[in-house]
Structure 1
Amino acid sequence: MAVLPIKLTKTNRDKLAQVLWVLNWISVVTGIILFSLGIFLKVEINKRQDLMAESQLQSVPNMLIAVGLIACVINFLGGKICYDCVDTNKFLRWKLVMLPYIICTFFFTLSVLVGALMCYSMHGQLEEALTFGLRDAMRYYKDTDTPGRCFLKRTVDQLQIQFQCCGNEGYRDWFQIQWVSNRYLDMSQREVVDRLRSNVEGKYLMDGVPFSCCNVNSPRPCIQYQITNNSAHFNYDYQTEELNLWMRGCRQALLDYYTNIMHSVGLTVLIIWLFELSVLTGVRYLQTSLENVLRQGDPECESDGWLLENSFVETARSNFNIIKHLGKFNQINISSNGDPNIDKPTTAHYGPDNVPPKSLPMAS
């Protein structure tokens, strides 16, 4: 039994072909949108690539770019096919192409859905990349004289100012690393030397943060050094009052930023997938109805169209049998090519001397 059958008259078939021609051209535009979304996502990731560890984040924008280009080609061809299907005689030129085209379009539509799901499933990879990337960027914050790292200080400062964040998880992350270069430390001061000697790794650690962590909305001048020393500042208690620093970590700030982008892109791709699926459904109805017209031989007759000629179970069973028979056919070919005695005449073995016995005299 056919799946979702409908009856189409000659007028309905012509209108369906015209509508699908318009929708395919709109799908070319959606392909350009997919391509543009992939480029936008790729630029956003590359913009802060120095703050992310190496991961598979580029797979999503690359897939959207590829799917967008394929969409333009497939839908351009689909528009040409649907335009010619208005005339039954012109459909004969595309009759053998229609089924492979629908199969390719089905897998393309499935790729669009996969791209949308990938946008929603990148949260874990993005969080891991930001965690390790920000940790390394903060570690090399002081290396302004090292080639390849001299720009990291500016990058981290711009990040903390723009996203109003501080550190990886919070401002206390700066307490655990040396973010001041040794060239700016006065080794003649006993306090500096004691701090360096008191650390096992010889690092100059302090309870201070870079200036970019200061909250510009705070009425009090920024306290960025000796944050945990109440006696170092007048009328100050870091445990009770709200510090004039950004409290949110940069990992969470960037994660929220990219998550919003991913969800917006994923929603757009999902809407495009639904649109492409409707176009594919219409093309399938047009193909099956026109093939039934050719079987009946009357271009003006009413014909049936369907998504599948048989039920889902029967279609799956028949396709499985076809694949199984193809596998057996390949095994036969392999065994035939591997056995040198196949398809060769056999030699009868008559005896130890390989001499045929004498023929018996015929009875009179």
Structure 2
Amino acid sequence: MALMKIKFTQKKRVKLAQGLWLMNWFSVFAGILVFSMGLFLKIELRKRSEVMDNSESHFVPNSLILMGILSCTFNGFAGKISYDSLDPTKFAKWKPFLKPYLALCFLFNTLIFLTALICFLMRGSLENTLTQGLKNGMKFYKDTDTPGRCFMKKTIDMLQIEFKCCGNKGFKDWFEIQWISNRYLDFSSKEVKDRIKSNVDGRYLVDGVPFSCCNPNSPRPCIQYQITNNSAHYSYDYQAEDLNLWDTGCKDALLRYYTNMMSSMGVVVLFVWILEVTVMIGLRLLHTALESIANPEDPECESEGWLLQQSMKETIKLMLDTLKQLGKTNQVEAGAEGGEPTPTVATVS
């Protein structure tokens, strides 16, 4: 028994073809939207590529761009088929290509669904990328005189100001690296010498943070040096008081920003996928309805359209039988090629 079997009159076939033509052009605009989202996300990721460890994060925007291009191509082609189906003469030239085209549509819809899932599942990979990238970026903060790294201070400062964050996981990350350049250290000072000697790697570490970590909403002037020293500041308790620094790490701030963006894009792609599946089903019904016209000379006669010629269970069983048959054929061919030669018997005269 055919799956989703529907009877069509001439009027219903025309309405279906016109509706599909309109839906395909909606899908073309949806494809342009998906392409634009991918391009926007790619630009946003490239803006902060200095604090990202690898290019894996660009997999999502690249997938969106590709799906957008394919969507415009497939739906533009399907729109032409739907329009030509109103004229039997024009539609006749499309008949040999419809089955392969519908198979490609099914593959495309599978890919666009996977792209939507990827938008929701890339958080873990993006988190690792940001963690390592920010860690490396903070190490180069002080290298303002080093070619290729002189921009890193500005990048990190602008990042912390824009996203209202401090450090990688928190402001204490700055305590573990030397973020002040040697150029601005007085090596004749006893305090500087003692700090460098007290560190195994000979780094100048302080319990301070860059100015960009300061929260301007705090009523108190920013305390960015000697943060853990209560006696260095009047009426100050490091453990009990809310510090006037951003308490969110930049990894969490960026991760939240990008995951929210990709989740929103994932929802849009899911809606596009539903639209694409609807168009594919409609095109299949139109194809079978036109193919099953009993008398081609009488275009006004009734016909039947279906999604699958057999039920889902029978279709799956047929596919499995076909695969098994192909497997057996391959085994026979392999045995024939790799078989031992037939031994010859020598005759004694």
TM-score scaled by length of structure 1: 0.91
Whole-Å Cα distance in 2 between the matches of residues 295 and 53 of structure 1?
Answer: 65
Alpha-carbon deviation of 1:240?
Answer: 1.7
Give 1:40's aligned residue: 40
Are the equivalent residues in 1 in contact too, given 2:207–2:228 (CA < 8 A)? yes
Partner of 2:92: 92
Alignment of 1:208-357 (within 5 A): 208-293=208-293, 298-336=298-336, 352-353=348-349
Tell me if 1:68 matches 2:68.
Answer: yes
CA drift of 1:221 comes to: 1.3
Do residues 130 (structure 1) and 130 (structure 2) align?
A: yes
TM-superposed deviation, 1:92: 2.1
1:170 alignment partner AA: G
d(CA) in 2 for partners of 1:350 and 1:204? Answer: 92
Verify the 8 A CA contact 1:230 1:236 in the aligned structure 2.
yes
Q: SS at the partner of 1:7?
A: strand
Measure, in 2, the Cα distance between the counterparts of 1:176 and 1:329. 66
Secondary structure of residue in 2 paired with 1:114: helix
1:55–1:125: 8 Å Cα contact kept in structure 2? no
Whether 1:120 aligns to 2:120 is yes
Cα–Cα, structure 1 residues 197 and 351, in superposed 2: closer, same or farther, change >3 Å? closer
Alpha-carbon distance in structure 2 between the residues aligned to 1:200 and 1:181: 18
Q: Residues of 1 paired with 2:327 and 2:297: CA distance?
A: 37
Deviations 1:52-93 (A, max 9, x none): 111521111111111111111111111111111112333322
The runs of 5 or more residues in structure 1 that have no matched partner are 354-364
Could you tell me the percent identity over the aligned residues?
54
* 1:129-150 Cα distance to aligned partner (Å, 9 max, x none): 1111111111111111112211
Q: Is the 1:27–1:71 Cα contact (8 Å) retained in structure 2?
A: yes
Report what 1:148 is aligned to: 148
Partner residue, 1:3: 3
Q: Given residue 115 of structure 1, which amino acid in structure 2 is its aligned partner?
A: T
- How far apart, in 2, do the equivalents of 1:352 and 1:69 lie? 76
- RMSD of aligned C-alpha atoms? 2.1
Whole-Å Cα distance in 1 between the matches of residues 346 and 134 of structure 2? 86
Report deviation, 1:331. 4.2
The 8 Å contact of residues 3 and 311 in structure 2, kept in 1 or not, is answered as: yes
Partner of 2:4, secondary structure, is coil
The equivalent of 1:31 in structure 2 is 31
Q: Hey, what's the Cα distance between the residues in 2 that align with 1:167 and 1:350?
A: 87
With 186-195 and 140-149 compared, the bigger mean Cα shift is at 140-149
Which residue of structure 2 aligns with residue 356 of structure 1? Answer: none
Q: Relative to 1, partners in 2 of residues 1:340 and 1:91: Cα closer, same or farther, differing over 3 Å? A: farther
Q: Which residue of 2 aligns with 1:51?
A: 51
Structure 2 counterpart of 1:243, which letter?
Answer: L
Return the alpha-carbon distance in structure 2 between the equivalents of residues 350 and 203 of structure 1: 89
Find the residue that maps to 1:70 and give its secondary structure: helix
Runs of 4 or more above 6 Å deviation? 339-342
Checking the alignment, whether the CA contact within 8 Å between 1:175 and 1:208 is kept in structure 2 is yes
| Cα displacement string for residues 309-351 of structure 1 (whole angstroms, at most 9, x for unaligned residues) | 1111211111222233233334444555566989xxx99x796
- Specify the code of the residue in structure 1 equivalent to 2:329: F
311-320 or 250-259: bigger deviation: 311-320
Provide the rounded CA distance (Å) in 2 between the counterparts of 1:23 and 1:302.
Answer: 24
Spell out, residue by residue over 1:268-309, the C-alpha distance to the aligned partner (whole angstroms, 9 max, x if none).
Answer: 111111111111110011111111115777422211111111
Any unmatched runs of 5+ in structure 2? none
Deviation at 1:190, TM superposition (A): 0.5
Name the CA distance, whole Å, in 1 between partners of 2:174 and 2:339.
73
Q: Counterpart of 1:203?
A: 203
3-state SS of 1:304 partner:
strand
Q: Deviations for 1:91-123, whole angstroms, at most 9, x for unmatched residues? A: 322111111111101111111111110000011
> Which amino acid in structure 2 is aligned with residue 317 of structure 1?
K
Q: Which amino acid aligns with 1:212?
A: S
Residue type of the alignment partner of 1:189: S
Aligned to 1:175: 175
Structure 1 pair 297–329 and aligned structure 2 pair: CA distance change class (3 A) = farther
* Match of residue 358 from structure 1: none
- 1:290 partner amino acid: L
Bigger Rg over Cα? 1
Which residue of 1 is the match for residue 16 of structure 2? 16
The answer to whether the 8 A contact 2:294-2:303 is kept is no
Deviating more after overlay: 323-332 vs 123-132:
323-332
Stretch moving more, 282-291 or 228-237: 228-237
Tell me the amino acid that sits aligned with residue 71 of structure 2. Answer: A
**What is the CA–CA distance in structure 2 between the aligned matches of 1:241 and 1:350, rounded to whole Å?**
103
Are the equivalent residues in 1 in contact too, given 2:51–2:133 (CA < 8 A)? yes
String of CA shifts for 1:218-250, please: whole Å, max 9, x gaps: 122111111111111122222222211111111
CA positional deviation for 1:170: 1.0
